[in-house]
Structure 1
Amino acid sequence: MRIWIRQHVVAWSAVGRNLLRQGAEVYKATITATGASLVRLEKNFSFVLSPKAPYNFELTAKKPAGWDLFTPFEVFEEGTMWTALHVDGMLVGLKLKSTEETDSPRISVTAFLAREPDDKEETIKGILAEKLGVNDELSQFYGFARRDPILKHAVDDLYGMHDTLGGSVFDLAILTICLQMAPLKRSEQMMECLVSRYGRVAEFDGRRVAAWPVPSEISVVSIKELESRCKLGYRAKYVIQLAKILEGGAFPTLEDLARLPAEESKRRLMELPGIGDYSADIINPRAGFPIDAWSVDVFGKLFFGREPKNARDAIERVKKEGIRRWGRWSWMAFFYVAQDLENLSKKLNVKLRLQ
């Protein structure tokens, strides 16, 4: 997941953690009471991915800053991740585990489905490989980063961490809309309500993992219902409009957007209801330098040695400096710095706020 704004670091990860703390039985009751569909995924197939080295599975799947891979309800224990997402309309549960080291990586994957995969095996393998960044080459970025006084520390601390793609454009668009103009607690409540009332819960390998709803599950809901049930306010209109646009499958997927020039993919995203410049930067795969009123403090200190007096007024200046300094590597630089704030604070002797 490629999102770094204060609300996400604290909120979206917190949603999953809070629900997991309820325990299996309470979680089961919550699912039944709120209406999320429980889907038993009893068919499975296994395969192995061989990423380009270096590839650190734990850093890639479970980002240090708390970013989720595909859903805030996924579980990571003792080097194994259980998560869920939709592929071509199918709910897919995933069990992921690294079987080798960073410099000779292998990822063992078991995919769980409600029916026999038939001709979908290769589709699932291909999409997962792209989402996990297994074919992405880090050597050029690392060569650039090791000549930079800030990035040289981050790439040493996070050696082998790859960027990943989220579950879908719809997931990320919902997230950005729920985070707009809302206190942290309310953003949490809106996202949890959408997932628990309109999403699906994958049951597989002795686990239950809630996944984001698909557009067809939201497009039939009334604006009034979303406004009242999930307290979305004006956001309800945008979420339903998004669902109606995206359910047909004509809009590019995250994988499609990642293959477009960055400006073109951003332009396409800004055609969506409720998605402006900043939200598009957040969704846009492997592109952009999304600065907000919190991250401007961090990068203001890193670039200019001090926190801006007026954060909002400094956003454009800091964004331009990041792009000037890091150019084609702006997003990767942003991504690595975002995950390494604690270590960078110590190594550069500067206090970088974590939240």
Structure 2
Amino acid sequence: MSKLIVARDDRLNFTLTLRRYQAYGEDAANYFDGENFRKVFSIGDKHFLLSLRESNGGVTLHVQPPTRSQAVWQQAGLITRKILGLDFPLEAFYQFAVRDPVLRELAKKFRGLRPTLAANPFESLVTSISAQQINLQFAFTVRSRLVRRYGEKLNSNGQTYYAFPAPAKLARVKVSSLRQLQFTEKKSEYIIGLAKSVSGGQLDLEALSQQSDEEIAEKLIALRGIGRWTVDWFLARCLGRGQAFPAGDLGVRKAVQHFYFTGKEKSEEELRKFARRWGEFANLAAHYLLAGLALGT
């Protein structure tokens, strides 16, 4: 059984949107081969494989094993909207971008690019922690090791897929075990500490979506290993907040400096002030600037 999610048009560039899941190596929890996207998700203690594929008619969603459960299809639909960034106001952004010569050209070249959001907040935070102060290729490598070691397995058509590890599972892991996967000792402690806070009920990640950016920052920064950089990406790539702008990110900084300041270095605070001009479109602006820097104009 499959469902058409998005009709084919220029409001979604399927391949470009999902590019980040293969640009830096394998992402074991978010499998993308350039044509098919697959992700394991759970309803209770049952695991399902979500598959997205672009065809002549648009993007279709398929779930394995076959089910008519409304709860399963509803969850699959919600995950799909996050993965494809379907709730971003792309048309409004394009109208706004006309006033900005840089964004105008980037919007033309990368039309249909949508920031892809993390399927769940725990995965988002662990992803950011694993990427702190290292290159993205190595971050993808060690995170995929984590997924393969501790994620639940699901076999489909002769291939094994892995769910992102649940907080309760990682809360029981020893630091020495994560060190064997080449996480640093500090990052191992941060990931396990986060997992314990979530599984123990001290931190309700699902409730954060109803809170302000300031409230979210206050709760997350209180945890070991989470600073402004991680909070900014959580707001941008998990909650999809329009004004989120990771000014402390090296890639974002390079992109803004390249396109607006002829490469001249700017401080994080200067970039935050500069990004205010984009208002509710700052998140989209950041992703189009990153695409421009990575893929050229």
**TM-score scaled by length of structure 1:** 0.69
Q: Does 1:282 align with 2:236?
A: no
3-state SS, counterpart of residue 101 of structure 2: coil
Q: How does 1:176-187 map to 2 (within 5 A)?
A: 176-182=128-134, 187=139
Percent of residue pairs identical: 23
Question: Does the C-alpha gap of structure 1 residues 117 and 338 become closer, same or farther in structure 2, counting only changes over 3 Å?
Answer: same
Supply the distance in 1 between the matched residues of 2:268 and 2:87 (Cα, whole angstroms). Answer: 33
Q: Does 1:211 align with 2:163?
A: yes
- Equivalent residue number for residue 225 of structure 1: 177
Which residue identity is paired with 2:225?
G
Q: Does 1:336 align with 2:288?
A: yes
Shift of the alpha carbon at 1:194?
A: 1.3
Supply the distance in 2 between the matched residues of 1:251 and 1:68 (Cα, whole angstroms). Answer: 31
Higher relative CO (Cα under 8 Å, sequence separation at least 6) belongs to 1
Question: Which of 230, 234, 242 lines up with 2:194 in the alignment?
Answer: 242
Shift of the alpha carbon at 1:89?
A: 5.9
Contact 2:6–2:60 at 8 Å: present in 1 too? no
Question: Which of 266, 274, 277 lines up with 1:321 in the alignment?
Answer: 274
Shift of the alpha carbon at 1:71?
A: 4.6
Supply the distance in 2 between the matched residues of 1:153 and 1:262 (Cα, whole angstroms). Answer: 30
- Equivalent residue number for residue 99 of structure 1: 55
- Equivalent residue number for residue 63 of structure 2: 111
Q: How does 1:2-151 map to 2 (within 5 A)?
A: 45-50=1-6, 54-63=11-20, 66=23, 71=28, 74-77=31-34, 79-86=35-42, 90-100=46-56, 106-113=58-65, 118-131=69-82, 132-151=84-103
Question: Does the C-alpha gap of structure 1 residues 85 and 122 become closer, same or farther in structure 2, counting only changes over 3 Å?
Answer: closer
Supply the distance in 2 between the matched residues of 1:185 and 1:95 (Cα, whole angstroms). Answer: 24
Contact 2:22–2:33 at 8 Å: present in 1 too? no
- Equivalent residue number for residue 32 of structure 1: none
Shift of the alpha carbon at 1:167?
A: 2.5
3-state SS, counterpart of residue 329 of structure 1: helix
Shift of the alpha carbon at 1:146?
A: 1.7
Shift of the alpha carbon at 1:258?
A: 5.0
Which residue identity is paired with 1:305?
T
User: CA RMSD, aligned part only?
Assistant: 3.3
3-state SS, counterpart of residue 99 of structure 2: coil
| Structure 1 unaligned blocks of 5 or more | 1-44, 347-355
- Equivalent residue number for residue 255 of structure 2: 298
Question: Does the C-alpha gap of structure 1 residues 161 and 295 become closer, same or farther in structure 2, counting only changes over 3 Å?
Answer: closer
| Structure 2 unaligned blocks of 5 or more | none
Supply the distance in 2 between the matched residues of 1:68 and 1:90 (Cα, whole angstroms). Answer: 28
Supply the distance in 2 between the matched residues of 1:220 and 1:168 (Cα, whole angstroms). Answer: 20
Shift of the alpha carbon at 1:156?
A: 0.8
Supply the distance in 2 between the matched residues of 1:238 and 1:88 (Cα, whole angstroms). Answer: 27
